Amino acid sequence: MPEGDTIYRSARTLKAALAGRSVTSFRTVLAHLARVDDDTPLAGRVVDDVVSRGKHILMYFSGDLILRTHMRMHGSWHLYRPGERWRAPGGDMRIVIGTDAFEAVAFRVPVAEFRTEATLARDDEVQGLGPDLLDPGADLAEAVRRLRALGDVPLAEALLNQRAVAGIGNVFKSEVCFEARLAPQASIASLDDATLDRVLAIARRQLRANVIEGDAARRSAWRGGRRTTGRASPSEGLWVYGRAGAPCRTCGARIAIDKHGTDARLTYYCPQCQPTT
């Protein structure tokens, strides 16, 4: 599943390409979206904004219409010039939004709904999200309160709860626990507020580092993929995620795997740097 940094970058890219442009065409294979387009056509509307909230992308059109999409495991948005060949199979297309300069195509997006400002304000999928760590105004004290309310839930599972704190996925969950030197199996109830503050600060810094903006030299250092270690080599970008059996970059112990939650999501950790007791 794309994590908060991926969704943030997607929304930023879509906004740069589409904001301020008029929609020239709209196509979809999703009947519920097609019905809205039939009743209140997208063509002629202006794309006012594109933003991310947690793992949701919200595309705002003039005339009080908002497209909410969620990528789940395999969805993605692509941008093409008109007439450019798609890099994904046409059968995976779900939505196409055309403008004079770009065509935004949603592939394999399982969740896509139109909202108005009023209905979005009542949409629990969005309004029920915890503080978004990529939002500069995120209320981290509220995030701590929501995590604390989870009680005996393991830390690794709690960090994935988007209603507690939004944006963390499986990669960052493992990386944050490692950098905090906390066992992913530790219950939220066993951690004091100062420790949860530190966990969220680490998570926020790691997420922000992966939506880096600035000069080309700094940006090029991150072209090899997601990073949490700060190391330049693409092969050394992550502390523990995906490295089961490999030596810990800090102590040399073998990276282990555990499973958490109803979906048995994998968590990678160092048993020596992150002891369970």
Examine residue 155 and state whether it is found in any structural domain, yes or no.
Answer: yes
Q: Is residue 275 part of a domain?
A: no
Listed in sequence order, the DSSP H helices in the chain are 4-18, 31-39, 117-121, 124-127, 140-148, 155-158, 170-179, 193-209, 216-220
Distance, CA of 113 to CA of 116 (rounded, Å): 10
User: In this structure, is residue 244 part of a structural domain?
Assistant: yes
Domain boundary pick from 71, 103, 127: 127
Number of H helices, E strands in the chain: 9, 10
What is the Cα–Cα distance from 75 to 72, expressed in whole angstroms?
A: 6
Tell me, yes or no, whether 277 lies in a domain. no
pLDDT (0 to 100) of residue 151: 94
What integer pLDDT is reported at residue 221 of this predicted model? 39
Residue 92 sits in a domain of what CATH number? 3.20.190.10
- The model's pLDDT over 140-195, given as tens digits with 9 standing for 90+, comes to 999 999 999 999 999 999 999 999 999 999 999 999 999 999 999 999 999 999 99
Residues spanned by the domain of 201: 140-269
| DSSP letters for 17-86 | HHTTPBP-EEEES-HHHHHHHHHS-STT-BEEEEEEETTEEEEEETTTEEEEEE-TTT-EEEEE-TTPPP
* Residues 217, 182 within the same domain: yes
Q: Which residues are catalytic?
A: 2-3, 55, 265
61-108 tens-digit pLDDT: 999 999 999 988 889 999 999 999 999 999 999 999 999 999 999 999
Q: Are residues 155 and 215 in the same domain?
A: yes
Order of strands across the sheet that contains 65-70: 47-53, 56-61, 65-70, 111-115
pLDDT, position 109: 95
Are residues 18 and 112 located together in one domain of the fold?
A: yes
Number of independent structural domains in the chain: 2
pTM of the predicted model as reported, rounded to 2 decimal places: 0.88
Q: Are residues 117 and 202 in the same domain?
A: no
Which domain-ending residue is among 94, 127, 160?
Answer: 127
Same structural domain for residues 111 and 204?
Answer: no
